[in-house]
Amino acid sequence: MITEKLQNEINGQITAELWSSNLYLSMSFYMEKEGYAGMAAWLKKQAAEEHDHACEMASYLIKRGGVAKVDKVDVVPTEFGSPLEVFTQVYEHECRVSQMIDALVDVASSEKDKATQDFLWGFVREQVEEEATASGIVEMIKKAGAAGVYYVDSKLGERR
């Protein structure tokens, strides 16, 4: 059985993951409008991945006898700037999510819930990858320059 404190914290993370999903979906729509179909496709896949994270956390809570809740998900921005600005925001957001997951691990530790700690470590590892990927895209865009951004766009469209 999961503690109420940990259940509440995970439910907060579920809401944060859904907000992240909406953020990336909004970015996807924006990039598509700006003519970057590859970046839009990459962001749409990222939105689906964040949605999957929320569902995975909800399933975990239910398996542990808890109650998964979807709270109010705040409105996300709709304007983001250049491709470099968009992916800089993606990187910064992934860093914030990493901090949130780290804090969840700390709560699981303080609650002496080793199963939840183990479950959350999977997200910690995934966040390392997500941060590195976003950082790599930022660097690619910087190196590509104005003309090369369309090459980066086509490469991001190849994401499976």
Residue range of the domain that includes 87: 4-156
Cβ–Cβ < 8 Å for 98, 131: yes
Q: pTM of the predicted model, to two decimals?
A: 0.95
How distant is the alpha carbon of residue 76 from its chain centre? 14
- pLDDT tens digit string along 66-101? 999 999 999 999 999 999 999 999 999 999 999 999
pLDDT at 155: 93
Instruction: Write the CATH number for 85.
Output: 1.20.1260.10
Nearest to 26 by CA among 93, 71, 72: 93
Q: Residue 36: helix, strand or coil by DSSP?
A: coil
- pLDDT tens digit string along 107-138? 999 999 999 999 999 999 999 999 999 999 99
> What tokens were used for 21?
């999903």
Mean of all residue pLDDT scores within the chain:
96
Using CA atoms, how far apart are residues 70 and 12, in angstroms rounded to an integer?
9
- In Å, how far are 34, 36, 90, 98 from 29, measured between CA atoms? 9, 10, 14, 25
Total domains in the chain come to: 1
On the question of pLDDT at 17 being above 90, the answer is yes
pLDDT at 159: 82
When pLDDT is cut at 50, 70 and 90, the band that residue 146 belongs to is confident
Q: How many CA atoms lie within 13 A of 93 on its CB side?
A: 22
- pLDDT tens digit string along 46-70? 999 999 999 999 999 999 999 999 9
pLDDT at 147: 86
Using CA atoms, how far apart are residues 5 and 27, in angstroms rounded to an integer?
33
Cβ–Cβ < 8 Å for 27, 141: no
Nearest to 18 by CA among 61, 48, 38, 62: 48
